[in-house]
């Protein structure tokens, strides 16, 4: 009997190998679920087994309880530690196992750990994740965000898949708290495209000397519009990645580690893009095209371009502007660096270039080219035609940008 006067049944036996007495807990008496007859049947079954087998079963049960007893917070930190460990990649460089681990860790630590961290991981249910999803959508953690809810669910699903794998087994394989949850509301597609007037205002505004944002960050914004590259791909552009800059076929080779799909991009550079790059390279000793104004020898920060466009807020007074962004200063409707890629792609489409050619410039998957199916292997080998198509598109966009910019200059002269 235990102190609370509730009958608890145990089976005691001698371990023949260790010469010690072992105890197996059979359960707490319950007239509906655990009766004396039930316990007696378990005892007969255990007595029929070899004591060594009982010891092994006991050991496995204890081990399983120990692993399955981990909290959500514990497996979150174990998962993050595993994700950020370096491993050798296909390009020969060592990088974290999951290169986007910081984003995954952010969602697990911001939303999951504070709310479910103290719970036993195997006890988390679909209702727990559904409630957490609703709290994010309702704005209980700041601004309501469908994107945060989606990323949180994805992070939790990955966490439990990882935690249930053989050799780890922090939770049973059947523990799937994200399975069959209600669908999230659809996120609004971003469709912001700058008009010709906005392009003129932006381009000439970026050349003003009275703006609070450094010149190289502003040039990086220009290059995103001109090159169709992502911010992460161009902001850390290194001198060694620029090929034939003074020749007829200038090229920017972006290493796989900076590319979203982890494959090398060779992006042709138009004459307008070359002008921007040469202006940013102020000296022969400068290694990064868009060098940080704060940390010499390093590229601009990963959020520099987006921050320059939207501005900054006071930490203690988030409703008050600390440094106005370029959009506000130039009187433009807010937009992001990614919207510049969309704007350039729209200009290319209006000029009559095919969707396949534009997709290649954007480093998007191409399944059809001029109406023909493109197989994956074919796409790998047919490089020369691809480069020609990309150069034609980017040169065409550059010519159109020059026309748009010149229109404003002609008006000023008139």
User: So where are the chain's domains?
Assistant: 8-68, 73-163, 196-413
Q: Are 400 and 351 a contacting pair, CB within 8 Å?
A: yes
196-413, CATH topology level: hpI Integrase; Chain A (1.10.443)
Residues 131 and 111: their CA atoms lie apart, in Å, by 11
pTM of the model: 0.71
Look at residue 223 in the predicted model and tell me its pLDDT. 97
Residues 3 and 17: their CA atoms lie apart, in Å, by 33
Look at residue 173 in the predicted model and tell me its pLDDT. 87
- Strand blocks (E) in 8-92: 8-15, 20-28, 86-88
Residues 330 and 32: their CA atoms lie apart, in Å, by 75
Look at residue 320 in the predicted model and tell me its pLDDT. 78
Look at residue 68 in the predicted model and tell me its pLDDT. 66
Low-confidence ranges of the chain (pLDDT < 70): 1-6, 59-68, 316-318, 367-385, 407-414
**DSSP 8-state assignment for residue 313:** E
Q: List all residues 6 or more positions away from 231 whose beta carbon is below 8 Å from its beta carbon.
A: 220, 224, 302, 305, 306, 337, 338
Look at residue 20 in the predicted model and tell me its pLDDT. 76
Look at residue 7 in the predicted model and tell me its pLDDT. 80
């Amino acid at each position: 009997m235990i102190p609370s006067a509730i009958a608890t049944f145990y089976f005691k036996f001698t371990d023949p190998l260790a010469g010690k007495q072992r105890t197996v807990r059979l359960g707490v008496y319950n007239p509906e679920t655990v009766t004396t007859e039930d316990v007696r049947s378990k005892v007969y079954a255990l007595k029929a087994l070899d004591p060594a087998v009982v010891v092994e079963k006991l050991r496995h049960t204890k081990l399983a309880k120990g692993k399955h007893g981990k909290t959500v917070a514990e497996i979150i930190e174990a998962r993050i530690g595993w994700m950020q460990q370096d491993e050798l990649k296909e390009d020969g460089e060592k990088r974290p196992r999951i290169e986007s681990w910081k984003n995954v860790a952010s969602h697990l630590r911001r939303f999951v750990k504070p709310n479910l961290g103290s719970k036993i991981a195997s006890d988390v249910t679909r209702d727990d994740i559904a409630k957490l999803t609703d709290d994010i959508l309702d704005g209980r953690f700041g601004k309501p965000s469908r994107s945060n809810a989606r990323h949180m669910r994805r992070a939790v699903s990955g966490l439990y898949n990882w935690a249930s794998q053989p050799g780890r087994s922090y939770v049973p394989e059947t523990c799937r708290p994200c399975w069959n949850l209600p669908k999230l509301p659809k996120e609004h597609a971003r469709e912001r495209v700058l008009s010709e007037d906005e392009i003129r205002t932006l381009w000439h505004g970026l050349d003003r000397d009275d703006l609070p944002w450094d010149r190289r960050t502003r040039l990086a914004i220009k290059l995103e519009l001109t090159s169709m590259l992502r911010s992460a791909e161009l902001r850390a552009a290194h001198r060694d990645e620029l090929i034939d800059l003074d020749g007829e076929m200038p090229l920017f080779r972006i290493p796989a580690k900076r590319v979203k799909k982890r494959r090398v991009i060779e992006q042709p550079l138009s004459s307008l893009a070359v002008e921007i790059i040469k202006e940013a390279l102020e000296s022969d000793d400068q290694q990064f095209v868009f060098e940080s104004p704060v940390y010499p020898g390093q590229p601009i920060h990963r959020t520099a371009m987006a921050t320059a466009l939207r501005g900054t807020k006071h930490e203690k007074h988030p409703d008050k502007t600390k440094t106005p962004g370029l959009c506000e200063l130039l009187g433009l409707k807010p937009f992001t660096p990614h919207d510049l890629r969309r704007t350039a792609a729209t200009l290319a489409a209006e000029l009559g270039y095919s969707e396949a050619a534009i997709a290649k410039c954007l480093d998007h998957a191409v399944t059809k080219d001029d109406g023909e199916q493109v197989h994956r292997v074919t796409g790998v080998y047919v490089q020369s035609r691809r480069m020609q198509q990309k150069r034609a598109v980017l040169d065409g966009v550059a010519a159109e940008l020059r026309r748009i910019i010149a229109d404003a200059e002609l008006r000023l002269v008139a």
